[in-house]
Structure 1
């Protein structure tokens, strides 16, 4: 029929156009897939998880690490025990053994015997880091003063020092004064005996006196932490409780012989964790 050649020629042109158009579309799709692969590389066999509107992209969030508390910092510290320890235990009436049937039944003497190190024990009742003794704090027997007196004797050179106390420091109305005195005492010991390893045993007492020591305990603990010395927190650990105090109390202020033995036992448990 007339016009068939033109019609067929038009039909061939359309077919070719569709063919080339399809090829072009496939090329575009292939190029897009390759681009996705390049921007989202994965290992062999690793699946690609599609991100949809119902699957929001997670954004990383910073997790704050809480700063260690003063108590935690002091308790986490340890000491480097010398190869040949020479020990000085300095404190108040507890270290002197007051309340025990015999002074050598006091906690400090029990600890010294258990450890087996050459040891000097210096306990003076009514004294503390900041409180010098006497009803008016007028005896000038603060721990730092006594350390200086001990250091004047060159025949005894300790390389381990246990500072016990804080009960009498509860008479000080300023926690900052107690904290400062504690830190200065520790630093003084390090100056007097370079390399000495210092451990602080905080205040403790049978109930009800123990209930009055929280402020002093916190201040002594803060002073130990400021000086970087391990702190054994007998108060927070509850060495003396309302339940056990009747069996450990001597006079309402001091432990009896059993109370001193209890203090020594608890101290040695803590000591073992400090020297590991």
Structure 2
């Protein structure tokens, strides 16, 4: 069993939990302000799907993005949405305008954790997915030239991996290189082989799973100098 270093030290600030709940609840395509829990800390926007929204966790404060934000003194902006992909669920709320929400937050750091749900549109929409990945990352880079963009290899949730997983990973990696973003690899394997880390729905991590993801993400970010 992995030992996690996320102790109650900075979690004492109970206002963080309450503020994060408010951010997570705001899924409509309107700008989401940064949670100023740490006045001297950077604003970090998370652009992702249910695995970044924290679906399956007992509380939003238990999702990996909030664990690392609290640990690092980051002001978290997290409009991530269930089912979201680079093309999936983009024609209406919450997908419409989500990239703009990230931009409007004026973040110092952007973390992109997208691509899992696009596997369910493969191979029929392969060309559209590849193009959308490039468009989204280019849009973020152009609109936020001073922000540091960290692109994470798309997460995956079963030990079985359709061929589309590797294909989408390659497109995300290439698009990240195209905008000179930092890239974190191997994330599709982070919860592999650990059924005890899955919530009751069998689709999303539970608190232990998100804690494991946070521990791994924290190490990868440290390796990048963040």
Give the corresponding residue for 2:55: 98
Q: Does 2:92 correspond to 1:139?
A: yes
Q: TM-score w.r.t. structure 2 length?
A: 0.71
Q: 1:148 matched to which residue of 2?
A: 100
Please show how residues 158-197 of structure 1 align to structure 2 within 5 Å.
158-173=107-122, 174-197=125-148
Counterpart Cα distance in 2 of 1:113 and 1:84? 10
CA distance 1:221–1:176, change in 2 (3 Å): farther
Deviation per residue, 1:31-87 (Å, 9 max, x gap) = xxxxxxxxxxxxxxxxxxxxxxxxxxxxxxxxxxxxxxxxxxxxxxxxxxxx96321
**Is the contact made by 1:166 and 1:216 (CA closer than 8 Å) also made in structure 2?**
yes
Partner of 1:203: 154
Q: Secondary structure in 2 aligned to 1:198?
A: strand
Q: Are the aligned partners of 1:164 and 1:200 in contact in 2 as well (CA < 8 Å)?
A: yes
Is the Cα contact below 8 Å between 2:47 and 2:112 reproduced in 1? yes
Residue 180 of structure 1 contacts residue 223 of structure 1 at CA under 8 Å; is this kept in 2? no
Q: Structure 1 residues 140, 169: CA separation in 2 closer, same or farther (over 3 Å shift)?
A: farther
Q: Per-residue deviation at 1:192?
A: 2.3
Matched, 1:259 2:212: no
| Matching residue of 2:219 | 269
Instruction: Give the alignment of 1:29-44 within 5 angstroms.
Output: none
**Structure 2: 5+ residue runs without aligned partners?**
1-39
* TM-score, with structure 1 as normaliser: 0.59
Deviation string 1:130-186 (CA, Å, 9 cap, x unpaired) is 22x1xxx6436448x31214445xxx4212100112111112324443333222212
Secondary structure of the residue that 1:122 maps to in structure 2? coil
2:174 alignment counterpart: 222
SS of 1:199's partner is strand
Secondary structure in structure 1 of the residue aligned to 2:190:
coil
Q: Which residue matches 1:28? A: none
8 Å CA contact 2:46–2:102 kept in 1: the answer is no
3-state SS of paired residue (1:170): helix
**Aligned residue for 2:15?**
none
Matches within 5 A, 1:220-259: 220-235=172-187, 238-242=189-193, 245-250=194-199, 251-259=201-209
Larger Rg: 1
Corresponding residue pairs, total:
182
The structure 1 segments of at least 4 consecutive aligned residues displaced by more than 4 Å after TM superposition are 140-143
In the alignment, structure 1 segments of 5+ residues that lack a partner are 1-82
